[in-house]
Amino acid sequence: MLWHDLILFAWIYFILFLLQLMALPVIFYFSKKITYLKDAGWGFGRIFSALLLALLIWNLAFLRIPINTNLGVSAIFFSLSLLSLFFAWHFFLSKQNFLKNFLKKFSRIIIIEEAVFLLSFIFLFITRSFQPEILGLEKFMDAGFIQAYLKAPVLPAADIWFAGSSINYYSFGQFYNSILVHLWQIDLSYGYNFLLISIFALFCLELFTISFNLKANLNFEKKMIFKNENYNFRAAVFAGILAIFLVALGANGHTIWWLVAHGNYGSYWYPDATRFIERTIHEFPAYSFVVCDLHAHVLSLPVSLLLLFTIFIWLKELLNLQFFAKITFLIKEKFFYLSMVMGTLFGVLVMTNTWDVLIYGSLVAVSSILLLFKNKKLFLPLFLSAANVFVFMAIFSAFWFLNFSAISNGLAIALEHTPLWQLLALYGPHLFWAILFIFMIRPLFSSKKEELAVPILSLALFIMVIALIVFPEFFYFKDIYTTYPRANTMFKLVFQGFMLLGVLLSLFFSVVLFESNKPKKIFSWRLIDFRHLFNNKKQKLFLLKIRARSFLLLYLPIGCFLFFSTIVYPYLAYRSYYGNFKKYQGLDGLTWFMRKYPEDFILMDYLKKTEKTQVNIVEAVGESYTEFARISAFSGMSTILGWRVHEWLWRAGWDQPAKRTGEVEEIYKHPTSKSSKATLEKYQVKYIVLGDKEREAYPKLDEDGLLSLGKIVVSRGNHYLIQIF
């Protein structure tokens, strides 16, 4: 088992590295034309290539070209690789010793970033080996969507739990992950866990890359740390590493509150950090990676960070503009093409996690307003950027929109409000340092325009963090969960807000620890400035020294307490979820299915291996978060109705799930009736499942009648798969 998993590890890492190499032309271009990126954008190579490949196949498959197969994906991958090789070779020929100079400039940071990716990959690879089960929470749904896409040569794919209809969910995240499984050519029982591992490693790498580049462009002191480098390399690397610990591993302030309130972590239960506020959810990335659902908010993380990175470059290019009036001049500038990329990524987020469009669209809007405050002549470039974003977002999400019906029921005023002390307990420790950071960078707003990008983006991020925390206190988006009205809104907003807050803190602490030898120059101390009370210069100088030392003696220990109290979370959470790492199980996520329901597993496996594309089946209807509807989920076939509450949400109403609940019950209780036969014909059902869950759901089912409907293609004990046609 271990050797098998290690071979898969090497194979999958190799394919992911090929995706990195596919992005080399873009990276080479950045190294020559966007020199303020101190790693040439290396850390975003894999996700860029994966999205490029997925978008191409997505659109071709929606044109009814059967390209979404192992062979089709491999062919497109090979074609893009050849194209990439051609453009990379063009760079080699364009300048003598190009590769030598590139490696001389970027090899150090590339090695560090590859180490970050590999170590993150290894971390979750080992961790998941102690609890690999695709079981619990919404794993059935996530795996089911991926398996449905794996079984759909053309798109849209059929909904696994609503036969006759396509998936009505923002499921592009599951789609682009299915493309990776196609490339790896492995079964989803292993693919699910390797997708989790890959997403985590990508997330850590991107956190490092964006924080590294932001810090490299946030200079209080012009130091020469290494030859030909005019930024603090060690501080930038520290910012990247700290971002990983704060965002991918760290928690909100609940761990600090618990320690203060209880004195120890003896009875600490890690999910409480996401349910502290009554009848809400305030999740953060570390929790999501512990419980390991491949849900929309997790799959959007690498995309949203790529968008944030693009926004930073876009801001930088706008601030470097020399002329503003002529459109013919502006459309030749890099910001114009970057806004097209932003629009494409917004289109991807529409289909992956629509909430993020609201969040990052607002971030772009806030950043644009701050830009206009600095230079009103930027109005036309900003207008052109907005037009590009809307056009490209519409183009790349068009096929999805044509097959999607709105789930939300609109905006409502919140009647429930969080006690202030709870908000302060969760976010106060982080916000304290974020506020200090904003005061710290305030003098930089009067800097030269090319140095304004990071301060403007930082202020915009801070404004967005506050807005994302405050918004659910006044408004929420209505859905079917009326007893938990604010839960989904708060969940999706503060999830991204926590990530943005962690990026800000990584910048703050990197400056404090590496550039704090000139506090008068760096910090804006006006909130605690009492020098006006003294006339004597020596007294003022003494007060300045006291302030500087008090920062080191008081604020830094508090910062260390914050850091270690939030980092204790992964130790507690991973140890709890993974059973203290006592039992190695490997990475087969369906071993539990084979062990617990061996007969049903054989039925599922037959469907998955026999049917190359999706067909309709019928199995017992079940409630959400149960072990019902597992055969449709893991085979990728489409049943009449699966998790009915989920379909209630996705279909924005109970009428259709209620009707189908009755139809499925009628099939199992009265299979030979006219109404049952009409239902089977209406949904073009090819197989009927008869197993444990069907007997549990319908104790009075007519077994003989069911067996008489067709041919028994699989029989294990009293478990049957009946083929009707």
Residue 516: pLDDT band with limits 50, 70, 90: low
Give the torsion through C-alpha atoms of 37, 43, 47, 53, to 10 deg: 70
Helix ranges (DSSP H) in 38-171: 45-62, 70-94, 98-128, 139-150
Q: pTM of the prediction? A: 0.93
As a whole number of angstroms, the distance between CA 424 and CA 411 comes to 26
Distance CA 254, CA 273 (A): 5
**What does the pLDDT average to over 228-244?**
87
Which stretch of 32-46, 78-92, 227-241, 620-634 has the lowest confidence by average pLDDT? 227-241
Q: Would you call the peptide bond into 570 cis, given omega within 30 degrees of 0 as the criterion?
A: no
Confidence of residue 520 (pLDDT cuts 50, 70, 90): very low
Mean pLDDT of 395-417: 90
Stretch 618-623: mean pLDDT: 96
- Residue 546 is predicted with a pLDDT of 53
pLDDT at 590 over 50: yes
Give the per-residue SS3 of 484-541. CCCHHHHHHHHHHHHHHHHHHHHHHHHHHHHCCCCHHHHCCCHHHCCHHHCCCHHHHH
Backbone angles phi, psi at 188, to 5 degrees: -65, -20
- pLDDT for 251 equals 93
Secondary structure of residue 685 in the 3-state scheme: strand
CA–CA–CA angle 177, 393, 374 (5° rounding): 115
Phi and psi for 370 in degrees, rounded to 5? -65, -35
- State the pairing for strand pair 685-690/719-723: antiparallel
CA distance 707 to 654: 31
Please determine, for residue 538, whether its predicted confidence score (pLDDT) is greater than 90: no
Give the residue, 652 or 306, on which the prediction is more confident: 306
Bridge-based pairing state of the strands 685-690 and 638-639: unpaired
Domain boundaries, the chain: 2-131+169-513, 597-723
pLDDT digits (tens, 9 = 90+) for 56-96: 999 999 999 999 999 999 999 999 999 999 988 887 777 77
CA–CA dist 410, 153 (Å, integer):
35
Q: Does the pLDDT at position 224 exceed 50? A: no
CA distance 602 to 714: 8
Contact in structure between 311 and 364 (CB atoms under 8 Å): yes
Quick one: pLDDT at residue 220? 66
According to the model, what pLDDT value does residue 548 have?
Answer: 52
Tokens of 443: 């003098």
Q: Does the pLDDT value for residue 604 go beyond 50?
A: yes
Mean pLDDT check: name the lowest of 249-258, 301-310, 544-553: 544-553
Confidence band of 524 (pLDDT split at 50, 70, 90)? very low
331-345, 518-532, 678-692: range with lowest mean pLDDT? 518-532
| pLDDT, average across residues 14-38 | 95
Q: What is the mean pLDDT of the chain?
A: 90
Percent over 90 (pLDDT), the chain = 75
DSSP notation for 401-441: HHT-------EEE------HHHHHHHHHHHHHHHHHHHHHH
Residue 527 scores a pLDDT above 80: no
Which of 14-23, 450-459, 464-473, 706-715 shows the lowest mean pLDDT across its residues? 450-459
Distance CA 658, CA 480 (A): 14
What are residue 722's DSSP bridge partners? 688, 712
pLDDT in the model for residue 375: 85
**Sign of the four-CA dihedral 386, 391, 396, 398:** positive
